[in-house]
Amino acid sequence: MKQKLTTLSAALLLLSLLSIAQKKVQQPKPNVLLIITDQMSANMMSCTGNPYVKTPNLDALAASGIRFTNAYAANPVCVPSRYSMFSGELASQIGLEHNGQQKKIDVPQDRLDKSMGFLFRNAGYNTVYGGKTHLMGQNGVVDKVEMWGFDLLTADFYDGLPKKCESFFQQKHDQPFLLVASFMNPHDICYMALNEYEISQGRTEKGGRFLKEALKMPDGMSREDFVSQYCPPLPPNFEIPKNELTAFMADKPAFMHYARNNWNETDWRLHRWAYARLTEMVDAQIGRVLNALKKSGLDENTIVVFVSDHGDQDGAHRLEHKAFLYEESSKVPFLISWKNNIEPGQVDTKHLVSGGIDLLPTLCDLANIPVPQSFVGKSVRKLAMQGDRSPGWRDHLVVENNIGRLLIWDSWKYIVGKDVADGKFEADETVKSSPSNGQIREMLINLDKDPGEMNNLAADKKYKAQLQRGRRLLTEWYRTANIDLDAGYKITK
């Protein structure tokens, strides 16, 4: 009798295990919605404590999952950053460092084959892309999403994009989907300084479709009264650091020098006002997409990820625009939500993550798609689903741009810039400079004590150990990733 009971128990256990396994097999693959904005700094959400912007839709998304506060772009400018997002590697690995190279460098076919669209398509996903691209290609062909394994939903990156996403969600879906919704704003803020400079030179404005709307003032109110009553104040780190990296401004277009040297407090505060309004505009567009997803019922099994390609200086250090290794340009929002899988309301303040090189490994890992070993980034799945219980995370991270390399660890930042004495740069419309031999090549910042990055400690002998550690970790990071670090960034004195 006991033998029969034992046999019966074993059979029941086997049936139970088979049933669980069958359920796992039958569980549908999750859909993925990747939302990207352009030029949105990490602090441009009201959930971060910013009192000058209201982003209810992004706040709700953050509350439904996890928000990483220490997320950095791979390169704080559009084309290199987006290359990293969709390829899983640093843009410097193919010699790409700035937007001006978009048509000059071909993306190797093996990189395209392992890019986001093709990895998901080969795993059975319907891969669709809508909005702004700024993706490179081959033979001078750019912004062609088909090269990256996507079908084009729409090229409209303003109000047309959420409308197309709404229609997409209403369709019947016989396979899981990866939908990229890539919005332009708050990028239109770029045109404020650029247009003013062009007008000062007797030329016409360049663009900025929604900038005038963002700058609109109440009828009958003077510019001065509007600024004093409505516009955000200057940031605490508005002034220029005394020992700023020489290379930061050596390669910058004329309009950026124009704003830094000629704008007054009113101009800068209007810029900050417009940046916040453009951010609120794109938050509303994102809200339409998220509401449509929920209305369709697809939110029950859709991973939603939000990230920006880079930030904007927003007046910090008398700078607007991007392409700097300061926090405002380099840090980006990074949110992940997955209903019933990722615990809501998490805020990760501990781990260094990359909105560039970590994005594709993370999406693959969440969707149970094998992550290519060639990727230099890491999946944040365990951080999102296990929190601080996930061991072995990186303790330092690299950010690149065309004139420097940034190494972040603990509360420290080490930045090394190119020797710019010869004034040779590839960027278009560059203001050439010929600094003396006394140019500043390195910056060392203690973010705990100096979050505004006003004090460069690189020349202070008290911090020589930290300076040397930054140099060493930078070299080690590239060596470990099997990437060549340009000799000009290796300072050993």
Q: Is residue 244 part of a domain?
A: no
Q: Which of 282, 298, 118, 288 is nearest to 210 (CA)?
A: 282
Same domain, 335 and 484: no
List the structure tokens of 285. Answer: 């567009």
Final residue before a domain boundary, out of 356, 391, 426: 391
- Provide the pLDDT for residue 463: 98
Examine the domain organization and report whether 441 and 367 are in the same domain.
no
Three-state DSSP at 97 gives coil
Question: Can you give the pLDDT at residue 392?
Answer: 84
Position 158 confidence tier, pLDDT thresholds 50, 70, 90 = very high
Average pLDDT, the chain: 92
Residues 378 and 415 in one domain: no
User: What is the pLDDT at residue 130?
Assistant: 98
Tokens of 25: 């097999």
**Residue 405: inside a domain:** yes
The answer, yes or no, to whether residue 19 has pLDDT greater than 60, is no
Identify the CATH number of the domain in which residue 334 sits: 3.40.720.10
In whole angstroms, what is the distance from residue 196 CA to residue 268 CA? Answer: 13
Note whether residue 255 is domain-resident: no
Whether 370 is in a domain gets the answer yes
Answer with the one of 391, 424, 451 that is the final residue of a domain: 391
Q: What pLDDT, in 10s, does the model give residues 199-225? A: 999 999 988 989 999 999 989 999 999
Q: Are residues 350 and 412 in the same domain?
A: no
**CATH number, position 450:** 3.30.1120
175 & 322 share domain: yes
120 belongs to a structural domain: yes
pLDDT single digits (tens) 53-106: 999 999 999 999 999 999 999 999 999 999 999 999 999 999 999 999 999 999
Q: What DSSP letter does each residue of 424-482 carry, written as one string? A: ---STTB------TT---EEEEETTT-TT-----TT-GGGHHHHHHHHHHHHHHHHHTT
State pLDDT tens for residues 74-84: 999 999 999 99
pTM of the model: 0.92
One domain for residues 443 and 406:
yes
What pLDDT shows up at residue 248? 94
Q: Do residues 378 and 358 make contact, with C-beta atoms less than 8 angstroms apart?
A: yes
- φ/ψ of residue 85, rounded to 5: -60, -45
**Looking at the structure, do residues 327 and 179 belong to the same domain, yes or no?**
yes
| Residue 455 structural domain | 399-489
* Residue 435, pLDDT above cutoff 50: no
Q: Residue 433 above 60 pLDDT? A: no
Using CB atoms within 10 Å of the CB of residue 190, give its burial: 0 to 12 exposed, 13 to 18 middle, 19+ buried.
buried
User: What CA–CA distance (Å, rounded) separates 137 from 148?
Assistant: 8
Number of structural domains, the chain? 2
Same domain, 353 and 457: no
What value does the mean pLDDT take over residues 329-351?
A: 97
Q: Is 347 inside a domain boundary? A: yes
Q: What is the pLDDT of residue 423?
A: 55
Exposed, middle or buried by CB within 10 Å (0-12, 13-18, 19+), for 474?
Answer: buried
Is 448 found in the same domain as 337? no
- 435 and 298 belong to one structural domain: no
In a domain, 403, yes or no: yes
Q: Please say which residue of 354, 371, 391 terminates a domain.
A: 391
Residue 5 located in a structural domain: no
Question: Are 345 and 444 in the same domain?
Answer: no
Verify that 116 and 133 share a domain, yes or no. yes
